[in-house]
Amino acid sequence: MSQANSSFATLAKAPNRDRTIRVGRAAEYPKEIWYLLASFIALVSLCRILFLVYAYTRRSQERSKAWHLPSTIVNAFRIIAFRLTVPVGRSHIVNITEIFLSAMYLATLLTWTLINTTNTMGLKFDPSYWANRAGTIAASQFPLLVALGMKNNIISFLTGISFEKLNILHRTAARSLCVVMWVHAAGRIKIGVYKTIRPDTMSEARWLQCGILAITSLTVLSIISIRPLRSSRYDMFKIVHFAFGTIVLLGSYFHMQIDAQMGYYVWPAILLWGLDRVLRWCRMLLFAQFSSSDNASIDVLSPNFMRVTADKPRFFYWNPGQCAYLTVPSVGLVAHPFTISSVDTKSKQDKLIFLIRVHDGFTKRVLNKANGQRTRLLLDGPYSSPPLTRGFDGVVLIAGGTGVAFTLPLLLNLLQQSKQGKRLPCSRILFIWAIRDADHINWISAPLIDALSGLPKDLEASIKIYITGSATRREELSEDWEDKNSGADTPTTASEKLNYDGIVTASTVVNVKQGERPDFASLLHAEMEQVKDGRMGVNVCGPFGLAEGVRSALGASQIGNVMTGQPSIVLHVETFGM
């Protein structure tokens, strides 16, 4: 009898082989996913380093023909990966790379969730194998999710990808994790989660309540972060995002910690989230400490546009094309991003200038606040990874409306480098600006006049301004503007100045067209002919239609031209809007 009892005891203590296998895989597979992601980030970072070395050490005349084939391959890849797009709604697109990365990320998570889920009895896709594994994999990805959405972004620093573009991946990653979390929930329901909880103790199952809160909050965020909803109520979205994002992280942490003592998957994400906000608050307080209580002025340029001019705080330095988050305490406490349209000359007298289009919400309230008096402005920044503009034979800058806030500082910086350096940053510059009204020229005339004076003779610069409005008031135009016969180029000279509302623009490189829209295909093709066999950088900021027009001009139809020796083109499209 005692021998029989001993046998039963041995069987009772025998390990559950299925449990051992699934627990081991649930612990190992999240690590394997991270190895894969880290390798991909390292590869992109290496490509960025090689690109920077190439741009800073070589010029077109120094390159041998051996570089032609690799350059052709890279350019063809850029066209396919970044310029072929799929429309999403009426005013948004995604490129092939965004689709590919989003699909591959979700596929990776689901593959590692569902692979090797056959139990020892031969049952395939045993939910006891993949249910908890899905939750563990989702939790392990929260640090990446937070890192992609941070303003102080280590991934952006390594890869050179701006935080605005990483924010797109942040949203797609969140939706992918939402799917995996629902897979986890479905698996637990299939297994029978309620079998492990007595009805009379359901209210005490804190781990389950935290899990339900986390998955519900992430689902809501995944829905309201769709661009039309996000843009239409941006202030409300920021508040909801903050509140529900906090619930997702804390709910996931306590769900993992109470149920399985595995909160270590989530707390790094909470640490990153908190660190990012502490850095932003400290930076904002630092700049506020070195600024006066009325450090900004707001000028109404037109009913739909305004200019915010702020004193440069001590220790605030920026590169052309970067943005800053603005908070006007008298209007609201939600920060909004705007591109800095001025250039940092490292002088204490520098001003931060923002050209802003007025919409409903924050910008409308700021416009109503503009009464000619100075106001308090809190700054957080600078942010973003502006495009590289050196190492190219030709640089093209294209803007529509307030998109000039992005392209103007790039232009001013290039012109400044051309006049100061022994070596030109590029040999050709084409600046294209499409505006609706002629008086918009006043926005940029003063800094542009200064920058265009004294240019080196071997720098070919061209400024083309397109006034797309159907009519312009005669009394606001000089005699040079009154002849509108065919919309032909109207070049100005040093002696032929265009006076408009007391502001003078004068340069031999400025051309103005009235009542026409820029033909990007012909303009870019003509520029490509001038830098044939070289490298050309094209930087764009403007409305959806303008950006799509440039993408189309440099799209799939150009692959054949690339193969026949057309220049290698790097296209950068700055996000217009939120």
Residue 200 is predicted with a pLDDT of 53
For residue 30, the model assigns a pLDDT of 94
Instruction: Assess contact for 484 and 452: CB atoms under 8 A.
Output: no
Q: How confident is the model at residue 202 (pLDDT cuts 50, 70, 90)?
A: low
Q: What is the pLDDT of residue 496?
A: 34
SS3 10: helix
**Residue bearing the bigger pLDDT, 192 or 395:** 395
The pLDDT value recorded for residue 503 is 34
| pLDDT band for position 485 (cuts 50, 70, 90) | very low
Choose among 107, 108, 114: nearest CA to 130: 114
pLDDT of 480 over the 70 cut: no
Average model confidence (pLDDT) for the chain? 80
Q: For residue 565, what pLDDT is reported? A: 61
CA dihedral for 186, 187, 188, 194, sign (positive or negative): positive
Q: Kindly give the pairing relationship between strand 460-467 and strand 378-383.
A: unpaired
Q: What is the CA angle 424-430-436, rounded to 5?
A: 145
Q: Is residue 9 predicted with pLDDT exceeding 50?
A: no
DSSP 474-507: GGGS-GGGS--SS---EE--SSS-EEETTEEE--
With cut-offs at 50, 70 and 90, classify the pLDDT of residue 271: very high
Share of the chain above pLDDT 70, in %: 79
Q: Could you write out the DSSP letters of every residue in 162-187? A: -HHHHHHHHHHHHHHHHHHHHHHHHH
Task: Tell me the CA distances in angstroms from 88 to 98, 171, 226, one per residue in order.
Answer: 12, 15, 11
The domains located in the chain, with CATH, are: 19-38+86-282 (no CATH), 290-383 (2.40.30.10), 394-574 (3.40.50.80)
Q: What is the mean pLDDT of residues 409-435?
A: 87
Least confident of 215-224, 294-303, 428-437: 294-303
Nearest CA to 165 among 406, 382, 8, 386? Answer: 386
Of 178-192, 235-249, 376-390, 493-507, least confident by mean pLDDT is 493-507
Query: Which of 464, 467, 453 shows the shortest CA–CA distance to 527?
Result: 464
Query: What distance in Å separates the CA atoms of residue 178 and residue 185, rounded to the nearest whole number?
Result: 10
Q: How far apart are CA 53 and CA 391, in angstroms?
A: 10
Q: Is the pLDDT of residue 558 over 80?
A: no
pLDDT digits (tens, 9 = 90+) for 302-320: 888 889 999 888 888 899 9
Identify which of 148-152, 457-461, 570-574 has the greatest average pLDDT.
Answer: 148-152
pLDDT of residue 408: 93
pLDDT > 90: percent of the chain: 29
What SS3 state is found at 103?
A: helix
pLDDT digits (tens, 9 = 90+) for 55-101: 666 554 455 454 555 556 666 666 666 666 677 666 677 777 888 88
What residues are paired with 466 via a beta bridge?
434, 513
pLDDT value at 537 more than 80: yes
> Would you say residue 146 has pLDDT above 80?
yes
Of 133-147, 157-171, 468-482, 552-566, the one with minimum mean pLDDT is 468-482
Per-residue confidence at 294, pLDDT binned at 50, 70, 90? confident
pLDDT single digits (tens) 436-466? 888 888 888 888 888 888 888 888 888 999 9
Euclidean distance between CA atoms 102 and 532, whole angstroms = 35
- In this prediction, residues 146-173 reach a mean pLDDT of 88
Q: 6: part of which helix (H) or strand (E)?
A: helix 2-13
pLDDT one-digit tens code per residue, 304-362: 888 999 988 888 889 999 999 999 988 888 888 999 999 888 777 788 999 988 888 88
